[in-house]
Structure formats: C-alpha cells, structure tokens
C-alpha cells in the first residue's frame, strides 16, 4: 500500500549570497514576494499537498522565520483592540498553517547534509522536500501533483523541467527513460549535479521538489563531498538507484527561480499581476508606464 506523505522538509539554512546585500542580516527566505515571505509559499504548497508536519532546516541568523510562523500575542491583541478583524485573521492563519519544527544545520555542507539534519524528525517514512527558492505557479500545486504521482509508483520522485542551453550546468541533470503508462513520469537511469554543458546527459533539470524514500538518509551518510565540495542530494539519489527505482516528474506549471535577483523580480511582477487584490491596479498602472 502506498504510504501518505505527511512530512515536508524545507532547507532554509543557506547564506543567500546571490541576494547580497539584502540578505546580509535578513534570511533570503523572509524576503517578501508580493505580500508573503518566500518560505510561506513553500509551507503552503506542502500543506496543500496534504503534509501536516513541516521541518524547516535553519541556521544562524534565521530566527525571524520561527517568529513568522509562531503566534504573536501582542500584535493580535493590538489588532483585536483596533477592530482590524481581517488583519487579525490573516496574522493568526499563518501560525495555524501546520505543525512546524526547526532543526539546525550547524555548517553549510550542502543540500544532502541539510536534508540529513531532518533524519530523526522524518523517521522511517517517505517525505517531501521543497526548496523555497523554486516557486512553482500552478493550478494544482506542484507538490500535490507529485503526491498523486507517488501513489502510482511508490518510489522517490524528482520534479523536473527542460532548460535551455548552458543553463543545465546550474542544476542537477537527469537521464530518464519513459515508463510507458504515465507520460509525465520517467524512470531515472542516471543523474549528475551541475554538469559542464558539454557533459550533460540531457537538458532535463531537477527542480526543487522531491519525494524521497527514507533510505536516502543512509545514502547521504555514506556520501563523499561532490560538486562544490558539498554533500549533494543528487549524488545520494544516484546511490539510491543501486537499491530502488526513482522517477522524474514533468509537473504542470511555471517555475520561477526566486533565489536570484532577476528571477525574483520576474516572479514578483507575474505573481503581483495575478494577485486577487493588487493585480488589477498593478496591471492598470503598468499599462500607463512608458519604460
């Protein structure tokens, strides 16, 4: 029987160097994309996929994330006294999204190492991983699509998308073969972290959405440092292939790399245009501008 995906790990311990100086004293994950911090999109996507427990991997200087998802009694009392019911509901809803635990990654030793920090809290069950830099704008939230696909294969699944040209060297690269039944799901034959463009086996990139079986933790524990001298999740998944099948999944939706200044700007404009309250006025204003 397929197990349900109850837990999601969100790695959020990185320095955010691509965003300096904004991220010198503020976690990248707390930068507001339209009207919510980046990490809230990841948490909401996990919740929409049915996850009840979120494990955020944090590091030094990241405590504002914990405050964000916590109750805020003084703020709530003030909003209540001023009769600001809508803002009060909004504030409370953030603290009621899910059960959130925090685990620290003491040193930035790579994505594989960050995921390993969640081993005790995940336990022996398949779990989701959401990289908050990758914002996927989709009718059915990306992780929800993947949870549905997991029910078909009961094995690890990686979100994937085709990227153009040399951009493949910024990602984990997948070599996959069709499985026959669901055209969105392909079996992974091989994967390489950030290959040189000339050595990339395909243009198929891993995006920041994974469902992993718990054996991945053993694989990470046995890893040697890979690309960039870090413990790479991609290498651990490659080792996992010796024991189990794993699949890549072509999700429906549009991904934004919000971990990069330009990607963040593009995501801001697109999501602002779609925003229920701000969208119409923002669109009207944009149309009056001559850039």
Between 45 and 193, name the residue whose CB sits nearer to ligand G1P.
Answer: 193
31 Cβ contact partners less than 8 Å away, ≥ 6 residues apart:
19, 22, 23, 37, 38, 264
Task: Select from 218, 256, 257, 264 the least CA-distant residue to 237.
Answer: 218
- How distant is the alpha carbon of residue 2 from its chain centre? 23
Tokens of 75: 């703020």
Task: Please report how close the Cβ of residue 193 comes to ligand G1P at its closest, in angstroms.
Answer: 5
- Residue closer to ligand G1P (CB basis): 79 or 213: 213
Place of tokens 């790399």: 257
State in angstroms the smallest separation of the CB of 134 from ligand G1P: 5
Residue 269: CB minimum distance to ligand G1P, A: 20
**How far, in Å, are 13, 148, 186, 242, 279 from residue 179 at the CA level?**
36, 16, 5, 18, 41
To the nearest whole angstrom, how small is the minimum distance from the Cβ of residue 68 to ligand G1P?
22
**Between residues 79 and 204, which has the closer beta carbon with respect to ligand G1P?**
204
Our CA angle for 27, 41, 97, nearest 5°, is 100
Rounded to a whole number of angstroms, the minimum distance from the CB of residue 262 to ligand G1P is 15
Q: Which CB atom, from 79 or from 255, has the smaller least distance to ligand G1P?
A: 255
Residue number with the smallest Cβ distance to ligand G1P: 172
Residue whose CB is less far from ligand G1P, 79 or 251: 251
Q: How far is the CB of 143 from ligand G1P (least distance, A)?
A: 14
Closer by beta carbon to ligand G1P, 155 or else 205: 205
Beta carbon of residue 232, minimum distance to ligand G1P (angstroms, whole number): 6
Q: How far is the CB of 170 from ligand G1P (least distance, A)?
A: 7
Please give the structure tokens belonging to residue 275.
């925003």
Closer residue to ligand G1P in complex, CB, 29/134: 134
Closer CB to ligand G1P, residue 56 or residue 79? 56
Q: Which residues bind ligand G1P (CB under 6 A)?
A: 111, 131, 134, 171-172, 193, 205-208, 232-234
């Amino acid at each position: 029987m397929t197990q349900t995906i109850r837990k999601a790990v969100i790695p959020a311990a990185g320095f955010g160097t691509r965003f300096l100086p904004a991220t010198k004293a503020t976690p990248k994950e707390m930068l507001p994309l339209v009207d919510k911090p980046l990490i809230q999109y990841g948490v909401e996507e996990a919740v929409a996929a049915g996850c009840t427990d979120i494990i955020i991997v944090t590091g030094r200087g990241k405590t504002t994330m914990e405050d964000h998802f916590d109750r805020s009694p003084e703020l709530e009392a003030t909003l209540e006294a001023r009769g600001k019911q809508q803002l009060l509901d909004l504030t409370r809803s953030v603290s009621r999204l899910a059960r959130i635990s925090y685990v620290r990654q003491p040193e930035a030793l790579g994505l594989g190492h960050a995921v390993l920090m969640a081993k005790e809290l995940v336990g022996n069950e398949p779990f989701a991983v959401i990289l908050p830099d990758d914002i996927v704008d989709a009718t059915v939230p990306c992780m929800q699509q993947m949870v549905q696909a997991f029910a078909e294969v009961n094995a690890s699944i990686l979100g994937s998308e085709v990227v153009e040209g040399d951009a493949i060297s910024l990602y984990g690269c997948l070599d996959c073969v069709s499985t026959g039944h669901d055209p969105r799901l392909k079996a992974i034959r091989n994967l390489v972290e950030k290959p040189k463009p000339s050595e990339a086996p395909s243009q198929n990139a891993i995006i920041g959405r994974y469902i992993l079986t718990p054996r991945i933790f053993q694989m990470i524990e046995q890893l040697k440092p890979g690309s960039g001298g870090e413990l790479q999740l991609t290498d651990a998944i490659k080792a996992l292939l010796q024991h189990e099948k794993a699949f890549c999944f072509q999700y429906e939706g549009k991904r934004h790399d919000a971990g990069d200044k330009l990607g963040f700007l593009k995501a801001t404009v697109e999501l602002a245009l779609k925003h229920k309250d701000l969208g119409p006025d923002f669109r009207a204003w944009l149309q009056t501008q001559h850039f």
